[in-house]
Amino acid sequence: MREVFTGELNELLERLGELGALAAEGLESATEALFGGDLLAAQNALDLDVRLDELTVDSAHRAMKILALQAPVATDLRLVFSAVRISGDLSRMVQLTLHIARVARRRFPDMLARGALHDDLVVMAELASRIAAVLRDVFTHLDLDTIRGVRTLQRELDVVHSRVLATVEGKGWDGDVPTAVNTVLVARFYGRFGDQAADVADRLIFFVTGERPAEVA
């Protein structure tokens, strides 16, 4: 019975890995659309919506199957419920990349921002990409040091996010309202991507150790 439970839990982890890879793929395409003016890349990101639905439903189905058929004990419940919540976080991360792609498509062919503001958005995209790369691969080895590194990257992302907001809200801002709105939205989407990733990291630490990170409320 334990072998069956372990096998089904590993299959669920594989689905989470696929969701992590989907978030990384969506982020790469959406970022290319945003900064490269690539409408095809925007559409590639938006087309991931179907696969997202499939993976989300499949993950939920597998979790329910484990709960219904394997009679899990307390430790097993921790693993399954952590996986369910991680699935929700990863799904939201994919959705955030679709939001970025929609902004890119809406702004085409105009650049979203210029100068220092553009540079800060690029930094946010690069930090988000580094986070996505971790979550794309982490489900195959669950290395705690790698997982904890996500929170460090998320803090860096928050700092740049705050700087973008300060620029747009500052007295020196001379851009138009649509640019300000879209810039704030994109910065928020990248920032929320990092926030959701940090939640995934915290849940993975709980999944592996049974202990909640100090920063989890």
pLDDT digits over 201-213, tens only?
Answer: 999 999 888 888 8
Highest mean pLDDT among 36-45, 55-64, 104-113, 201-210: 36-45
The reported pLDDT for the residue numbered 214 is 66
User: Domain coordinates of the chain in residue numbers?
Assistant: 2-209
Region 132-143: mean pLDDT is 92
Residue 120: closest CA among 152, 153, 167: 167
Residues 161, 144: Cα–Cα separation, whole Å: 26
Identify which has the larger pLDDT, 78 or 104: 104
pLDDT in tens, 54-70: 999 999 998 888 877 76
Q: State if pTM tops 0.95.
A: no
The reported pLDDT for the residue numbered 215 is 46
- What CATH number has the domain spanning 2-209? 1.20.58.220
Radius of gyration in angstroms for the set of CA atoms belonging to the chain, rounded to a whole number: 19
- Cis amide bond preceding 178, omega within 30: no
With cut-offs at 50, 70 and 90, classify the pLDDT of residue 74: low
Tally of CB atoms within 10 A around 178 = 11
Evaluate whether 39 touches 110 at the Cβ level (below 8 Å): no
With cut-offs at 50, 70 and 90, classify the pLDDT of residue 80: confident
Q: In this predicted structure, which of 38-52, 77-91, 115-129 has the lowest mean pLDDT?
A: 77-91
pLDDT in tens, 118-128: 999 999 999 99
User: Is the model's pLDDT at 217 over the cut of 70?
Assistant: no
Region 158-183: mean pLDDT is 91
Specify the 3-state DSSP secondary structure of 195.
Answer: helix
pLDDT in tens, 171-197: 888 888 888 999 999 999 999 999 999
